Chain A
Amino acid sequence: MNDQPILEVQEATKSFGGIMAVNRVSLDVRGGEILGIIGPNGSGKTTLINCITGFIRMTSGKVLFRGRNITGKPAHKIADMGITRTFQIMRPYYSLPSYKNLVIPLFSPRARRTGGWRGGGKLGDRDTVGIDILEEIGFERDSFVPYKMASTLPTGYLKRLELARCLALKPEIIFCDEVFSGLSMSEIASMIPLIERLQMDGITLIMIEHRLRELFRVANRVMVLNFGEKVVEGSPEEVMADDKVKEVYFGSEEVEEVMSHA
């Protein structure tokens, strides 16, 4: 972890009509760290990601990636730089088998440029590379799961497929939009080592989560959003102890439970 911020967001603002979905949120992420973003439903977490990754246009504000201004660039250019994202609502290519889903990101200019996936560059067989990535992310190679149609996969595998799609691009930053939600406890337990491994590989992760206990286990820093505004930012312990956070999450059982453990 170095001190140079890899991604800097300055006063990001997005308004839909009169509603401020994201209101002057600033953040900076250092290379290799895991930043958690939490907040109640509708607090602007996903909108913030959409703004940073170029899926919607910011009303005002600035995004710097390694000091370069990437504000207002189209989504595919931002992804091409290595800033990838998963979708909260999983979006595989339903009409293709799971491993064929990865042929698409592997076909992208970035994947072809960075190549390297065991010779899976310009001349490599993308099917093989796709199965390799799927195995890395937890699809059993010898089972029939990687060859099944994506439309028949259960939620846990779809979440992994979303992550695999990001990994195929050899990303520098992955925005994970609620990768733990909708998973069983055992599925989450198997996801956490995966997240930790990604961090060890030097990938910066920004995780939106509702599952606070699991997030606090992996996150280096946590930011709390409420009504589109940043409430507090700090280490998981600081955030848990903060009075304003308790206010935001007032009545939420899980937080109280987590807090009581802290």
Chain B
Amino acid sequence: MENRQQRKERLDRGIKVRTEGLYGIMSLRELSYLTLPRLVLIVGILILPLVMPSMYWQRVISIVCIYSLLALSFDFLAHFVGLVSLGGAFFIGTGGYLAAILNTSFGLPPVLTIPISTLLGAVICTVLLLPCLPLRGVYFAIVTLMYPLVLTRIIEALNVLGGTDGIMGVASFANRWIEQYFVLVMVLVSMFGLRRLVNLDIGLVFRAVKDNDQAVKASGMNITYYKAIAVFIASAMGCLGGACLVHIYMWSGISQFALDFSILPIAATVIGGAGTLVGPVLGCFILVPISELLRAFGTLRIVFYCLILVGFIVFRSEGIMVYGQRKYHQFERWVEI
């Protein structure tokens, strides 16, 4: 018997090629090939609060959205700008405390505290992170990890901003529907907005900074400036999440600087598919509810959680979205070599 060797060949589906460019609006089939996945995602996300069985699970959806915002900001910074951020906790804490202060000390309603703390928080985060932006390498990750730890200790030691008790009596959203739909719409807006952004000319500059910052410098552009813009965008999303979280819990405390907010979005990005922007959101919609379901196992829940993560990393390291997109756009077949 001769030794027959085969390899797997991947080819684009005909419909994928047909729907590139103007021909996408050729027929209903092409149109639905393009729009259906997005439609399913948008409608699916928007009807979630309606199908949730209990108040408890509706609250979980809100928390999922806040993690999704963080995961989006991580994915954007890591895979489109080349800055690995562990700053989820930093952004959440900054936005959250700002919203709590604005609400309890200045008496502003959530309608005002959320946009103000989003923008102000993003400015504060960007300014604090500015010193490490000209550097390449791990410094950005280290500094973003350090700030929440430092701020926690400062709040503890100096007993400012409510100390270990936190700031209580923060106003809540008008009702739970507004709360849920606000965060859900914010996730959708950020997701599609970021995807638009990374394909704009300025988005190409961000991606170029990731690919090769020397060439961007040689093109006469200040890379620190563009990194700062990117950090501003990402931290605005994090601070928005923090402000919402505070109004949902009606309380702001040092647990908002907890490392969960830095680590879980990264895990969600790994599971969902890095660099797809949709993937991290899906990752959050899988991971956070799983961790809630696993509460029944008590302390063993971390073990199961880790097993799921390890399983994903070993068997589907590319992530759900990358895998899904490949299956959607391409078919595979075995060919003789």
Contact = CB atoms under 8 A, between A and B. Distances in A.
B221 interface: yes
Contacts of A91: 212, 214-215
A169 B217 CA distance: 12
A95 B201 contact: no
A129 B175 CA distance: 52
B141 to A, nearest CB: 21
Contacts of A96: 204, 207-208, 211
Contacts of B202: 107
A76 B221 contact: yes
B228 interface: no
Given A91-B212, A94-B211, A79 B204 contact: no
Interface string B210-228: 0110111111111100000
Contacts of B217: 55, 74-76, 79
Most chain-B Cβ atoms within 10 A of its Cβ — which of A94, A100, A104, A105? A104
B205 interface: yes
Interface stretch (A15-23, A25-33, A80-88): A80-88
B215 A165 contact: yes
Contacts of B204: 93, 96, 100, 103-104, 107
A93 B212 CA distance: 6
A53 interface: yes
Nearest to A127: B201
B219 A165 contact: yes
A24 interface: no
Contacts of A76: 217, 219-223
Nearest to B206: A104
Nearest to B215: A91
Q: How large is the interface on B (under 10, 10 to 19, 20 to 34, 35 or more residues)?
A: 10 to 19
B201 A126 contact: yes
Given A104-B205, A107-B201, A107-B204, A95 B219 contact: no
Nearest to A54: B217
Interface in A101-128: 101, 103-111, 126
A168 to B, nearest CB: 8
Nearest to B216: A104
Contact of B219 (A55, A74, A108): A108
B215 A79 contact: no
Contacts of A168: 219
A80 B215 contact: no
Interface string A146-177: 00000000000000000001001100000000
B83 to A, nearest CB: 16
A95 B218 contact: no
A33 B205 CA distance: 33
A104 B216 CA distance: 7
Interface string A172-201: 000000000000000000000000000000
A93 B220 contact: no
Given A96-B208, A103-B204, A169 B220 contact: yes
A248 to B, nearest CB: 30
A92 B211 CA distance: 8
A106 B207 CA distance: 15
Contacts of A109: 220-221
A198 B223 CA distance: 28
A53 B215 CA distance: 12
A93 B221 contact: no
A87 B215 contact: yes
23 contacts: A53-B218, A55-B217, A74-B217, A74-B222, A76-B217, A76-B220, A76-B223, A77-B220, A79-B218, A79-B219, A84-B220, A87-B218, A91-B214, A93-B211, A95-B207, A96-B207, A104-B216, A104-B219, A105-B220, A107-B204, A108-B219, A108-B221, A165-B219
Given A76-B220, A79-B218, 5 more contacts: A91-B212, A103-B204, A104-B205, A104-B216, A169-B220
A-B pairs, 5 with minimum CB distance:
A79-B220, A105-B219, A80-B220, A93-B211, A108-B220
Interface of B: 201-202, 204-205, 207-208, 211-212, 214-223
